[in-house]
Amino acid sequence: MRSGVARLSARAAKEGDLGDVVSLFREMLNATPYYNGLAKKGERAKYTAGSLKAKLREDRYSVLVVRGGPGLLGFAFSHFDDYLVWLDWLAVDPAFRRRGVGSALLQKLVETAPARRAHKVWCDSRTTNEPSMATLRSNGFREIAELKNHWYGQDFLLWERSA
């Protein structure tokens, strides 16, 4: 374990973080084998520096980050959805996976839910994304449904965790 990584914690992003967030988001999106071309195109258009800045103005907890000595280690995008928090994206720099960065982001997300007037966090994962499923399970999320041929024509699992 690299020095200091175990003590990292997630925090709400600031506008100054967004350049790094967008760069890591694009890197993760391009590298993910779990999304088809249509999904990647849609997600790339949805998450830009401008759209993330607007998200922060609307909800200060909508973009969470973990930073460390080398820079941005991971991020989470979410939004308030009818008294629930929907986790849109969770990504960790590949060099820092399996070091608690994803868990720190999920813990902070759950911690912020009551301040956002939400009683639950929920999200989806591709049915083939074993690392994501393992991270969600180890952080107290439970699988609630499988959606066949759903977003972008792909199969997904839905997950939830009470706040």
Domains of the chain and any CATH numbers: 5-119 (3.40.630.30)
Provide Rg for the chain, Cα atoms.
Answer: 15
Angle between helices 37-46 and 18-31 (to 10 degrees): 170
Q: What angle do CA 44, 52, 4 make, to 5 degrees?
A: 100
pLDDT score of 4: 42
Each of the 163 residues of the chain gets a pLDDT tens digit; together they read 344 445 689 999 999 999 999 999 999 999 988 888 998 999 999 999 999 999 999 999 999 999 998 799 999 999 999 999 999 999 999 999 999 999 999 999 999 999 999 999 999 999 999 999 999 999 999 999 999 999 888 899 999 999 9
- pTM for this predicted structure: 0.91
Neighbours of 70 (CB within 10 A): 11
